Amino acid sequence: MSTNIISNTSEWTFELIERYHNEIARVAANYGLDTYPNQIEIITAEQMMDAYSSVGLPVGYHHWSFGKQFLSTEKRYRRGQMGLAYEIVINSNPCIAYLMEENTMMMQALVIAHAAYGHNSFFKGNYLFKTWTNADSIIDYLVFARNYIAECEQRYGHEEVELILDSCHALMNYGVDRYKRPSPLSLQQEQARQQEREEYLQSQVNDLWRTVPSRVTPAGKKVRARFPEEPQENLLYFVEKNAPMLEPWQREVVRIVRKIAQYFYPQRQTQVMNEGWATFWHYTILNTLYDEGLVNDGFMIEFLQSHANVLTQPPYFSKYYSGINPYALGFAMMSDIRRMCENPTDEDREWFPQLAGSDWVKSLDFAMRNFKDESFISQYLSPKVIRDLKLFSVLDDDARSQLEITSIHEERGYRTIRQALADQYNLGSREPNIQVWSVDRGGDRSLTLRHTQYNRRPLHGDTAGEVMRHLARLWGFTVRLETLSEEGGVELLHECVNEKRRH
């Protein structure tokens, strides 16, 4: 047996990385993981900090907020308050995974299994990534974006560009399409040209700012055509297309920020699944290597320690508690799906008849492909996981003086906990629901946003005010923010009067 062991030392070399990679690739292929080609890059800790501060993008435009991120990462790292993440992986084709030079051989193997096969296959297979991100062209787009913005900075001064970027960043989370789906790629390409033409025509007859003649109803009451006809969820898109005062280059900058926001949107929606999936696979793959006698006991002990660290879930009363650890929850659920397929109990048969006894590789693959965090939890969170994690739900209602424990890990609580947890991962309820409500085309050109309250939760007043100022900068005219309460009352929250006119 011992002759098969790949290495006995914790030092890594390029040859060893290659050998480990080959073994991991072989095992992953046996489990049917479908991935983009891998590009594994060895980097230093400093470079890792750089990668960190550019939100993991290998190429990024320049902005002070990345500098701020870098400074705080650097400070915490230098003082030892924070270890750097072991890995960063980029959803691109080929899929770029970074290995840090400081890591041990075991850690490099773990990262390869986790990032280059776990995350990579998730990026390639999950429907959200397939729909919303284009792994083939993202690097090219980022290069384009950086060059474009650098060019704008040269031409218009970097302060000008920075102002626009600041404002766009404030609205970045509202620069994504949530509900609308793009049409399939081939059709999309086909439409691209047509759309171009259409846009050109529209720019010729941009009837948006032509004062619309008001129709006179028989009763003599003026009725104005509503604009937009329906509320718009993608604020940056709306700004890009409709803001009256933006220069063409400013629209392009808005578009760049919006595109990047959209690129990251699937990642924000699949944190639990993505990490759970990658963690499940590094665990499974490395254990397979161990079973095959390719790695020794020392390797496994070191591995299990790191693995356990990643999965630590402090209980709610711990001072280290900071919410549910997505690695722990995701790994527990992924492992539980496998368990239910292989060794179902009666409870599992009752709850998950479709899983019990099925091929676990296929069932997991199906789960990975077709869900996001919210739907994944509401579909697959099993009573056993709820019991293992001892989940309970707390109702915080400002109308009451105390919190109420509504459900715990018991028979009558499973469904409500599952529902509440799924809801917790629903970006739609985590982020305030704010949409473009109307534009006063015939009047002062003011833009009105409407916040629709959910569970009576109000907006954070201070930050909302600041964001509105950013929006006013982009829009160029007065902007308003209304809130629609659950009882149906509408209240004006903020108004930024902007009389800026350019000649």
Partner 1 sequence: MAQIIDRRLNGKNKSAINRQRFIKRFKGQIKKAVSDAVAGRSITDMESGEKISIPTKDISEPEFSHGSGGSREMIHPGNVDFIPGDQVDRPSGGGGKGNQASNDGEGEDDFAFELSRDEFLNFFFEDLELPDLVKTRLTTLVKQKSVRAGYTSDGNPSNINVVRSLKGALGRRIALSSPHLAGVRELEAELKQLVADGAGESPRALEIEEEILRLRGKIRAIPFIDTFDLRYNNRVPRPQPSTQAVMFCLMDVSGSMDEARKDIAKRFFILLYLFLTRTYEKIDLVFIRHHTVAKEVDEEDFFHSRESGGTVVSSALELMRDIIAERYPTADWNIYAAQASDGDNWNDDSPICRDLLLGSIMPLVQYFAYIEITPELHQSLWLEYLTVKSACPNFAMQHIESQADIYPVFRELFKKQTA
Contacts of partner 1 in 77-106 (CB under 8 A): 78, 94, 98, 101
Pick the binder of partner 1 from 170, 243, 273, 295 (CB under 8 A).
Answer: 170
Contacts of 368 (CB under 8 A, 6+ apart): 121, 122, 125, 126, 273, 277
**According to CB under 8 A, which one of 140, 359, 431, 491 is a site residue for partner 1?**
431
39/208 Cα distance (integer angstroms): 48
Residue range at the interface with partner 1 (CB under 8 A); choices 122-130, 226-234, 336-344, 450-458: 450-458
Q: Can you say whether the dihedral through the CA atoms of 12, 18, 19, 22 is positive or negative?
A: positive
Residue placing its CB nearer to partner 1 in the complex, 256 or 341: 256
Residue 459's φ and ψ, nearest 5 degrees, are -80, 155
Exactly one of 432, 436, 439, 441 binds partner 1 (CB under 8 A); which one? 432
Sole binder of partner 1 in the list 141, 249, 360, 392 (CB under 8 A): 392
> According to the binding rule CB under 8 A, does residue 312 interact with partner 1?
no
Does 408 participate in binding partner 1 (rule CB under 8 A)? yes
Instruction: Tell which phi-psi region holds residue 390, choosing left (phi > 0), alpha (psi between -120 and 50) or beta.
Output: left
| Helices 248-269 and 271-291: angle between axes, nearest 10 degrees | 50
Instruction: Name the token pair of 1.
Output: 């047996």
Q: Is 314 in the site for partner 1 (CB under 8 A)?
A: yes
Residues 6+ apart with CB under 8 A from 269: 128, 372, 373, 374, 425, 427
What DSSP designation does 43 have?
Answer: E
Position among 64, 301, 309, 343 found at the interface with partner 1 (CB under 8 A): 64
Interface characters, 7-46, with partner 1 (x: CB under 8 A): -------x--xx--x---x-----------xxxxxxxx-x
Please tell me whether residue 467 binds partner 1 under the rule CB under 8 A: yes
Nearer to partner 1, 226 or 390 (CB): 390
Does the protein bind partner 1 through residue 405 (CB under 8 A)?
A: yes
For residue 390, state whether it binds partner 1 (rule: CB under 8 A). Answer: yes
Residues within window 330-349 making contact with partner 1, judged by CB under 8 A: none
* Distances 99 to 22, 166, 229 between C-alpha atoms, Å: 16, 32, 50
Closest contact distance (angstroms) between CB of 422 and partner 1 is 9
Our CB check for partner 1 shows the closer of 160 and 423 to be 423
Supply the DSSP symbol for 232: B
**Is residue 495 within a helix (H) or strand (E), and if so which, with residue range?**
strand 490-496
Q: Which is nearer to partner 1, 253 or 356 (CB)?
A: 253
